[in-house]
Chain A
């Protein structure tokens, strides 16, 4: 038994036998052409192979009737095959470089793939796989070989270095349980096809793919990226059980997706999602989220040498706003500290980063970072229901300072003649206990609260949940936490400030009724948790949740509270 991690690209657990597609390795042959007659012949051969390849693709489009996504990819391939730049390059290599059509094509395709690989844009980079597929088809036709037919038996895990459209189209994927590729990322063709067909997939598995032989039993978890080759019986049993649980969950998801999140007595509890990238956003729709309750912006700033410009940030926020399609989108300003230093923002390492110079504390002192972000968020507010959220607030003064900078950003945009929503709602994270205790004072300053339970619980209980020795002390159901949540909600309600909750607690169906009962207005969860949380919302009444919260508030320990909540939802 071997266990190796790849990149989870399409969720689900798949178990099956490996069908291995051999990697097409081609090398130039090095023969040089002798005379103009040969040159003319090779150019004609190249053009013939292009025509033949296009005819093959048209044939697939006509007979296989692929789904829209695949048809689009094939149409793009037709354009790539007929591309004038490629033709120019190949013909030049043949006529002046005296190379054969085969070598000239192989080299040109290699150069183009290389070029696309080097581009900064993820999407375009992964199109190099489409170019490679186009090239393979062309080269096969130059060799005069026919298209290989693939056939899978039921319960197959397709294993390949990379899966090209031609593979997935000539194959009946209804018999395939999952995909495993050595190359590719989350937007590769294999990943896109897997998600659109609901197949589990792990990509970016690397050279480890060589270790798989046809017929091996394989387990893959498309959520975590874990792949197990030749599992022991006990492991196989565990995954089979998990697979069944997931299938049951998938059925539930399907049944609940279009259903509004309303309690049985008619109280709406909007379920939004926590998102950090465009990829996450697709999951929000798949799982039936009603908008983005927390857009983390840190990813945009990480893994790069310079700060993202206002323009870059705007383009990202705007994409998210447009894809959120009129539903609410809360953008949290930068939440970074000394534990994640950036090359363009050198922050000293700290003894205690959780209590250090981070998030709003940094932003207020670095207007060169904060103002462009605020301007980009404001500009995106012209494209959707955008709200802005300040993290790590612990004093009223910080809110006022942040708002003053927001006003400055608005003034600059007005001067530049750029449109934005002048009434953009402003909120603060309630994650520092001090902020929770002055909820009444903060409520006067803002339009909404977003309670971040992960940090709040860790600060309140003085326990780091990543430290195994004290992780047991970290418990969001500690009576202290529940009392403080009740206080925050009450103070907010008095001043008509809406309360959202965006920590892990929002994703835990065990907490759902308690939070509704305490008066939390909306929850922002991990996309995949939304169906389970929604299931709890729609199966109970708000009045029962309120009675439950009252009972829980009389209890003196987390174990008792958990037991009580478990009983309520079972």
Chain B
């Protein structure tokens, strides 16, 4: 299991468009990916659940990856949160 905290820097937080990109990214891996904010944890396969967390700019979220390809999934997600996310 791999886990890391991210502070959201995109001005609008994880709104519908990045949430869609995120789900589609997670879907390319077999691992179970979860995101936690303020004690609430959701599986990263549901756009409704992600938006329901209301992840805003400045919020800190914890991402947890576990499964057969967790290394690769973790790396891809890390790139998403630290690089691409600012531009989607």
A397 is an interface residue with CB less than 8 A from chain B: no
For A70-101 the 0/1 string (1 means CB < 8 A from B) is 00110110011001111000000000000000
Among candidates B46, B51, B57, residue contacting A318 with C-beta atoms closer than 8 Å: B57
A79 to B18, CA, bound (A): 12
In contact, A86 and B57 (Cβ under 8 angstroms): no
Among candidates A72, A83, A121, A315, residue contacting B47 with C-beta atoms closer than 8 Å: A83
Q: Which residues of B contact A73 (CB under 8 A)?
A: 16
Q: A80-B47, A84-B45, A319-B12 are in contact. Are A121 and B54 (CB under 8 A)?
A: yes
List A residues 259-285 near B (Cβ within 8 Å). Answer: none
B66 is an interface residue with CB less than 8 A from chain A: no
For B3-22 the 0/1 string (1 means CB < 8 A from A) is 00000000110011101100
Cross-chain pair count, CB within 8 angstroms: 59
Q: A86-B48, A318-B11, A323-B11 are in contact. Are A79 and B54 (CB under 8 A)?
A: no
Task: Tell me if A's interface is mostly helix, strand, loop or mixed.
Answer: helix
Among candidates B17, B24, B52, B57, residue contacting A315 with C-beta atoms closer than 8 Å: B57
B56 is an interface residue with CB less than 8 A from chain A: yes
A245 is an interface residue with CB less than 8 A from chain B: no
B25 is an interface residue with CB less than 8 A from chain A: no
Please, which residue of chain A has its CB at the minimum distance from the CB of B21?
A75
A120 is an interface residue with CB less than 8 A from chain B: yes
A249 to B75, CA, bound (A): 51
B49 is an interface residue with CB less than 8 A from chain A: yes
In contact, A123 and B47 (Cβ under 8 angstroms): no
Q: How large is the interface on B (under 10, 10 to 19, 20 to 34, 35 or more residues)?
A: 20 to 34
Q: Which residues of B contact A311 (CB under 8 A)?
A: 58
In contact, B48 and A124 (Cβ under 8 angstroms): no
Q: Which residues of A contact B12 (CB under 8 A)?
A: 123, 319
Distance in Å from the Cβ of A404 to the closest Cβ of chain B?
Answer: 27
Q: Which residues of A contact B23 (CB under 8 A)?
A: 79
In contact, B57 and A124 (Cβ under 8 angstroms): no
Q: How large is the interface on A (under 10, 10 to 19, 20 to 34, 35 or more residues)?
A: 20 to 34
A86 to B54, CA, bound (A): 18
A167 is an interface residue with CB less than 8 A from chain B: no
Distance in Å from the Cβ of A88 to the closest Cβ of chain B?
Answer: 9
A36 to B11, CA, bound (A): 49
Q: Which residues of A contact B51 (CB under 8 A)?
A: 116, 124, 127
In contact, A72 and B17 (Cβ under 8 angstroms): yes
A318 to B23, CA, bound (A): 26
Distance in Å from the Cβ of B47 to the closest Cβ of chain A?
Answer: 5
Interface residues of chain B, those whose CB is within 8 Å of chain A, are: 11-12, 15-17, 19-20, 23-24, 43, 45-49, 51-52, 54, 56-59
7 further A-B contacts with Cβ under 8 Å, apart from A76-B47, A84-B43, A116-B52, are A75-B17, A76-B19, A116-B51, A120-B54, A123-B12, A130-B16, A322-B11
Q: List 27 A-B contacts (CB under 8 A).
A: A72-B16, A72-B20, A75-B20, A76-B16, A76-B17, A76-B19, A76-B20, A79-B20, A79-B47, A84-B43, A84-B45, A85-B46, A85-B49, A86-B48, A115-B52, A116-B52, A120-B54, A121-B56, A123-B12, A124-B54, A127-B51, A130-B16, A311-B58, A315-B58, A318-B11, A319-B12, A322-B11
